[in-house]
């Protein structure tokens, strides 16, 4: 973090963290200057309505090296690590931890769903920034707190993944195995350095049909990803192997996929 003191704020979902944090400075802060919170002064890091390059957010994914996402010209740096916490970095802190750049970011957003297996979202940032969001963000103020049982589950999962490398290693192995077996079966998938393996279909109707057939014939559910989540013509299945998927299950998935691929008349990769 840029400031010495790092605080966190818990939300019911990660999706409710980003909007309050990005929207709160926009709606509550004066165009520039400083705002005083209980725990210190917070410098307004950007000029309202004049974001750098005409963009007020920079989109990137867990696969993007964190070092490439910084907006250096005075903008608030906000990193969404929802897909990365628990999975990357020596203590599961995310890609910023893996790349040793956490201290260069103003806000990091994470989820207690996905890798940590429960639900809830959080931001971490300087004490002043977190206090500001806590005081002004309607998405934080007007919502239920995390139930104690969920918080206990999150605590146990975070403690475990802070020290255990086993799950991260197993997942990397399963992802590599899946990619290798897809290549051997001639099923096209997009190369990326992420644990999310996009199997490219390129047609919305076929994408849904493959997902339906996988479920009906093989009892395997893989979600079809269609427009508007991805651009038209790039429809895909998104597969995320977990550390708990066995090698046999990966084989079973690829065999099933090869069968429905043929049944829906899709071309194999060369």
Residues of this chain that interact with ligand PLP (CB under 6 A) are 13-15, 80, 82-83, 111, 113, 121
Contact 140, 134 (CB under 8 A): yes
Contact 113, 119 (CB under 8 A): yes
HSE on the CB side for 106, CA within 13 Å? Answer: 22
Q: Assess whether 114 carries a catalytic annotation.
A: yes
Angle between helices 247-263 and 204-218 (to 10 degrees): 130
Minimum CB–partner distance for residue 241 and ligand PLP (Å): 17
Q: Which DSSP category does 189 fall into?
A: B
Q: Which is nearer to ligand PLP, 71 or 146 (CB)?
A: 146
Q: Which DSSP category does 79 fall into?
A: E
What's the token pair of residue 125?
């940032």
Q: Which is nearer to ligand PLP, 117 or 202 (CB)?
A: 117
Q: Which is nearer to ligand PLP, 92 or 188 (CB)?
A: 92
Minimum CB–partner distance for residue 8 and ligand PLP (Å): 14
Taking the mean position of all CA atoms in its chain, how far away is CA 234? Answer: 20
Q: Which is nearer to ligand PLP, 15 or 204 (CB)?
A: 15
Residues facing residue 124 across a β-bridge: 8, 108
Minimum CB–partner distance for residue 258 and ligand PLP (Å): 28
Minimum CB–partner distance for residue 78 and ligand PLP (Å): 11
- Which stretches of the chain are DSSP H helices? 15-28, 95-98, 127-136, 138-141, 148-163, 166-185, 204-218, 247-263
Residues facing residue 125 across a β-bridge: 7, 107
From 2, 48, 114, 208, active-site residue: 114
Minimum CB–partner distance for residue 251 and ligand PLP (Å): 28
Q: Which is nearer to ligand PLP, 18 or 188 (CB)?
A: 18
Which residues are catalytic, by number?
Answer: 114
């Amino acid at each position: 973090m840029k400031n010495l003191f790092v605080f966190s704020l818990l939300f019911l979902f990660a999706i409710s963290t980003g909007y309050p944090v990005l929207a709160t400075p926009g709606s509550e802060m004066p165009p520039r200057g400083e705002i005083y919170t209980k725990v210190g002064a917070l410098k307004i890091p950007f000029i309202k309505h004049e974001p750098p390059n005409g963009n007020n957010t920079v989109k990137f994914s867990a696969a993007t090296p964190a070092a490439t996402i910084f907006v250096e010209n005075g903008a608030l740096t906000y990193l969404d690590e929802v897909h990365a916490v628990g999975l990357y970095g020596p203590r599961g802190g995310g890609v910023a931890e893996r790349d040793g750049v956490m201290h260069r970011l103003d806000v990091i957003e994470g989820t207690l769903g996905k890798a940590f297996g429960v639900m809830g979202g959080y931001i971490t940032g300087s004490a002043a920034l977190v206090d500001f969001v806590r005081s002004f963000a309607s998405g934080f103020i007007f919502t239920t707190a995390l139930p104690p049982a969920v918080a206990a589950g999150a605590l146990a999962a975070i403690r475990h993944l802070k020290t255990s490398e086993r799950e991260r290693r197993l997942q990397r192995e399963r992802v590599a195995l899946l990619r290798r077996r897809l290549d051997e079966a001639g099923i096209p998938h997009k190369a990326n350095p992420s644990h999310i393996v996009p199997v490219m279909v390129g047609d919305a109707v076929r994408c849904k049909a493959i997902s339906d057939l996988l479920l009906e014939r093989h009892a395997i559910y893989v979600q079809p990803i269609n427009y508007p989540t991805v651009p038209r013509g790039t429809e895909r299945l998104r597969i995320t192997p977990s550390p708990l998927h066995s090698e046999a299950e990966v084989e079973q998935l690829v065999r099933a996929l090869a069968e429905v691929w043929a049944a829906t008349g899709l071309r194999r990769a060369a």
